């Protein structure tokens, strides 16, 4: 390839391919390369091959970074709006609640509660009802305990029906009865539909042979019963690995039969039914007066009276869509209500204050880094190279020292019994009883982080100041400028790019700091990142952590873009 390029260089440079083509048109046919092909074509091919080679060298790393870094960041962005848990766990309820009037003063009607019962029953079998409770609890405190408490009562609600049925006919106790009654043909569609819903709720595939197909006829006559039994069958066969016909069904199946018998049409259909166990079924239909007369709504309210509260239902309705802005609203101290977006009560506002504090403290840290770093960078840039290199080591040593080491050093220095306080007390400047509080507040964070980030200010400043010729200052002075004017009008403007580069670098690093504020910041000196870590590891509100992280990411990316515009990514230098 290089041969071709060299040969080409003899007649024309690669950049002027157009010119050579024109020259060829005017002259005697196309200019040919050594191998007899037109030069333009050869050049283009060479260029393409060079590009491909460069890309092939870059590709493995690019792929690696995209997979191990960019995709995780994107998954965080997705997490910050994702809200599938409500819909996946309570699909029936979410569907039924669409027709409820959110603006009204009445909680939803019986139909929603029936759906809720069957949704929650299978969720509690999968131990997922507490998760949806926790999710909704982020939006309205108290919902978690409501879901958990009611989850414990679901079996009892079903048993009220079960006891009556078993009194009417002991056959209801038998696993075989239910299997024979409900299995049949034609219910494959129902089976697959329920299987998909269960898989969505359980977040794993529910594939496999269930050993049960609901009968289409029974699905018509006893829709709730068949649905509940189908759920039970799928769960038993696939999750518990048991034989469906040998297991006593869930209490929800009895509740389903009770719910079916409340429908006069079902009773009539049972009269006409003549399949297996028709007598038992008819006996149940005839004795339906003995069944509990309470509606599901009453049962839920009896379990927890908050089920009657409109606010709770509004929260459920508002957070039922699979995508929500709720986490983002939360991270700016707002909340979604039926009337639109409102800010939270004063007492619950923490994130805006935290963002504000993060920004202000990062600015203070950046400012103190400029103040401390500028003179040092000037000195390093103007000393003879040999001396400057020795002094540079003093800047680079903290830069190379572990962050944890420097943070623990500041803990040793700043604490109440720490070195600084001890010295001041010993010298008699500070009374032993009122030692300075330097740690576990904003002061501690600012001092420690200024120290930690100072090298990141000095190094870019130094590399810019290195390029400013000292003769400019001398020229200014010889033209009559005072020291100050010479510095302020001649030197300083030329060092501004360095200040800009260093400031943005320090600010970007400061705004996302976690370790140092966590250790020396106490409660009043922590940043937004500490809150993110808290939500990841303690409160487990991952969506909110992702939303806070996304906001921070956007701020940083904006600064990154600015940095690129001012300094250029290629010009980042490490270690002088």
Partner 1 sequence: MSNLTVDIPRPPFNTFTLPLMAVFAGCFGFVVGNVFAQPLAGFLAGAVIGAGIAFLAHAMPDSRRNVRLGLIAAFGLIGLVLVGPGALVAGLLIGAVLSWAAYWLDSGRYRSTVPIYYTAGQTLWHNTFLFICGLVFFFLIAPLLPVMWLSFNAENFFTFTPEMLNFQPEGYSLKHYRDFFSGGGHPLQGLIYGTVIGAVFGGLIQLLPNAERGLSRIAVYGIIGALLGIVVGKMWGVSSAEWMTPLKNSLIIAPFATFISVSLGTLAAIGLSQSHVPGRQAIMAILISPMIVPLIISATGMFFFYAPLGNWLEANLGLNQAFVGYVKVILAHAALGVPFVIITVTATLVGFDKSLTRAAANMGADPVTTFFRVQMPLILPGVISGGLFAFITSFDEVVVVLFVGSAQQQTLPWQMFTGLREQISPTILAAATILVTISICLLTTVELLRRRSERLRGMSPG
Which residues from 484-523 bind partner 1, rule CB under 8 A? 508-509, 511-515, 518-519
Among 29, 60, 340, 345, the residue binding partner 1 under the rule CB under 8 A is: 60
Among 72, 264, 265, 340, the residue binding partner 1 under the rule CB under 8 A is: 72
Residue closer to partner 1 by CB (options 267, 559) is: 559
Residue closer to partner 1 by CB (options 294, 482) is: 482
Distance of CA 318 to the CA centre of its chain: 20
Q: Give the list of residues 6+ apart from residue 171 with CB closer than 8 angstroms, or none.
A: 177, 277, 280
Judged by CB under 8 A, the stretch of 98-106, 165-173, 394-402, 491-499 that binds partner 1 is 394-402
Residue 162 · residue 254 · CB < 8 Å: yes
Here's the x/- map for partner 1, 314-333, by CB under 8 A: it reads as --------------------
Under the phi-then-psi rule, with left for phi > 0, alpha for psi from -120 to 50, and beta for the rest, what region is 36? left
Angstrom distance (rounded) from CA 337 to CA 342 = 7
Residue closer to partner 1 by CB (options 268, 419) is: 419
- DSSP secondary structure string for all residues of 306-362: GGG-HHHHHHHHHT-SSB-SHHHHHHTTEEEETTEEEEPPGGG--HHHHHHHHHHHH
Smallest separation (angstroms) from partner 1 to the CB of 366: 15
Residue closer to partner 1 by CB (options 49, 152) is: 49
Token pair belonging to 208: 């496999």
Residue 71 touches partner 1, criterion: CB under 8 A: yes
For the four alpha carbons of 179, 181, 183 and 187, in that order, the dihedral sign comes to negative
Residue closer to partner 1 by CB (options 319, 563) is: 563
Residue closer to partner 1 by CB (options 2, 103) is: 2
Burial class (CB in 10 A: 0-12, 13-18, 19+), 7: middle
Sites for partner 1 among residues 417-436 (CB under 8 A): 417-419, 422, 426-429
Sites for partner 1 among residues 76-105 (CB under 8 A): 76, 79
**# binding residues, partner 1 (CB under 8 A):** 99
Tally the residues of the chain. Answer: 576
Angstrom distance (rounded) from CA 450 to CA 468 = 26
DSSP-H helix ranges across 383-438: 385-400, 403-414, 419-427
Sites for partner 1 among residues 10-49 (CB under 8 A): 47
Among 265, 347, 393, 538, the residue binding partner 1 under the rule CB under 8 A is: 393
Judged by CB under 8 A, the stretch of 56-64, 186-194, 216-224, 297-305 that binds partner 1 is 56-64
DSSP for residue 303: H
Here's the x/- map for partner 1, 143-172, by CB under 8 A: it reads as ------------------------------
Map residue 199 onto helix, strand or coil.
helix
Residue 403 touches partner 1, criterion: CB under 8 A: yes
For the four alpha carbons of 388, 390, 391 and 396, in that order, the dihedral sign comes to positive
Residue 2 touches partner 1, criterion: CB under 8 A: yes
Token pair belonging to 489: 């009008």
Q: How far is the CA of 445 from the CAs of 408, 448, 502, 524, 533, in angstroms? A: 12, 5, 20, 9, 17
Angstrom distance (rounded) from CA 184 to CA 226 = 11
At 70, phi and psi to the nearest 5?
Answer: -70, -45
Sites for partner 1 among residues 433-462 (CB under 8 A): 451, 454-455
Strand stretches in 69-227, DSSP E: none
Among 12, 415, 495, 503, the residue binding partner 1 under the rule CB under 8 A is: 415
Judged by CB under 8 A, the stretch of 51-59, 188-196, 267-275, 301-309 that binds partner 1 is 51-59
Smallest separation (angstroms) from partner 1 to the CB of 538: 13
- Count H helices and E strands in the chain, helices first: 30, 2
Residue closer to partner 1 by CB (options 121, 507) is: 507
Sites for partner 1 among residues 517-576 (CB under 8 A): 518-519, 529, 532-533, 536-537, 542, 545-546, 549, 552-553, 556, 560, 563-564, 569-570, 572-576
Q: How far apart are the first and last CA of the chain?
A: 37
Residue closer to partner 1 by CB (options 286, 564) is: 564
Smallest separation (angstroms) from partner 1 to the CB of 499: 16
Sites for partner 1 among residues 357-376 (CB under 8 A): 372-373, 375-376
Residue closer to partner 1 by CB (options 301, 556) is: 556
Judged by CB under 8 A, the stretch of 224-232, 239-247, 414-422, 490-498 that binds partner 1 is 414-422
∠ CA 385-388-392, rounded to 5°: 135
Among 379, 388, 437, 566, the residue binding partner 1 under the rule CB under 8 A is: 379
């Amino acid at each position: 390839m290089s041969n071709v390029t060299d040969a080409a260089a003899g007649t024309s440079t690669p950049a002027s391919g157009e010119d050579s083509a024109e020259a060829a048109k005017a002259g005697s046919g196309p200019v040919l390369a050594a191998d007899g092909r037109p030069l333009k074509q050869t050049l283009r091919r060479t260029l393409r091959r060079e590009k491909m080679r460069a890309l092939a060298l870059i590709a493995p790393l690019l792929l690696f970074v995209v997979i191990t870094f960019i995709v995780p960041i994107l998954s965080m962005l997705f997490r910050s709006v994702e809200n599938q848990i409500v819909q996946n766990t309570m699909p029936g309820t979410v569907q039924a609640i669409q027709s409820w009037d959110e603006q009204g003063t009445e909680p939803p009607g019986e139909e929603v509660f029936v759906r809720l019962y069957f949704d929650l029953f299978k969720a509690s079998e999968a131990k997922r009802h507490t998760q949806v409770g926790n999710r909704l609890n982020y939006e309205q405190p108290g919902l978690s305990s409501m879901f958990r408490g009611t989850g414990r009562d679901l079996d009892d609600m079903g048993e009220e029906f079960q006891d009556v049925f078993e009194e009417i006919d002991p056959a209801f106790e038998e696993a075989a009865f239910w299997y024979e009654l409900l299995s049949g043909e034609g219910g494959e569609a129902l089976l697959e539909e329920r299987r998909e819903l269960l898989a969505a709720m359980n977040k794993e595939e529910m594939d496999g042979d269930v050993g049960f197909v609901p009968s289409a006829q029974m699905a018509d006559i006893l829709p709730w019963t068949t649905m509940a039994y189908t759920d039970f069958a799928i769960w038993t066969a696939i999750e518990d690995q048991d034989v469906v016909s040998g297991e006593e069904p869930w209490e929800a199946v009895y509740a389903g039969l009770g719910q079916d018998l409340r429908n006069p049409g079902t009773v009539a259909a049972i009269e006409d039914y003549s399949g297996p166990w028709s007598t038992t079924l008819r006996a149940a239909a005839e004795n339906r007066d003995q069944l509990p007369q309470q509606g599901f709504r009453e049962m839920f309210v009896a379990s927890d009276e908050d089920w009657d509260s409109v606010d709770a239902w509004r929260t459920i309705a508002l957070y039922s869509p699979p995508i929500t802005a709720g986490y983002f609203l939360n991270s700016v101290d707002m909340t979604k209500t039926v009337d639109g977006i409102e800010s939270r009560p004063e007492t619950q506002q923490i994130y805006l204050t935290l963002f504000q504090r993060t920004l202000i403290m990062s600015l203070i840290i950046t400012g103190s880094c400029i103040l401390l770093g500028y003179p040092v960078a000037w000195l390093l840039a103007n000393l003879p190279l040999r001396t400057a290199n020795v002094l540079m080591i003093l800047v680079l040593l903290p830069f190379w020292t572990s962050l944890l080491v420097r943070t623990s050093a500041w803990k040793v220095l700043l604490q109440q019994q720490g070195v600084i306080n001890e010295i001041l007390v010993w010298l008699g400047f500070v009374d032993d009883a009122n030692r300075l509080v330097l740690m576990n507040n904003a002061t501690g964070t600012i001092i420690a982080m200024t120290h930690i980030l100072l090298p990141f200010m000095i190094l870019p400043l130094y590399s810019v100041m290195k390029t400013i010729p000292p003769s400019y200052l001398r020229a200014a002075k010889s033209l009559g400028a005072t020291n100050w004017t010479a510095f302020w009008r001649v030197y300083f403007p030329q060092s501004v790019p360095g200040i800009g580069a260093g400031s943005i670098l320090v600010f970007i690093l400061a705004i996302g700091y976690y370790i140092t504020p966590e250790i020396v910041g106490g409660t009043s000196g922590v940043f937004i990142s500490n809150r993110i870590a808290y939500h990841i590891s303690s409160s487990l509100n991952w969506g909110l952590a992702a939303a806070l992280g996304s906001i921070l990411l956007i701020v940083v990316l904006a600064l990154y873009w600015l940095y690129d515009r001012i300094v250029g990514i290629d010009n980042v230098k490490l270690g002088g």
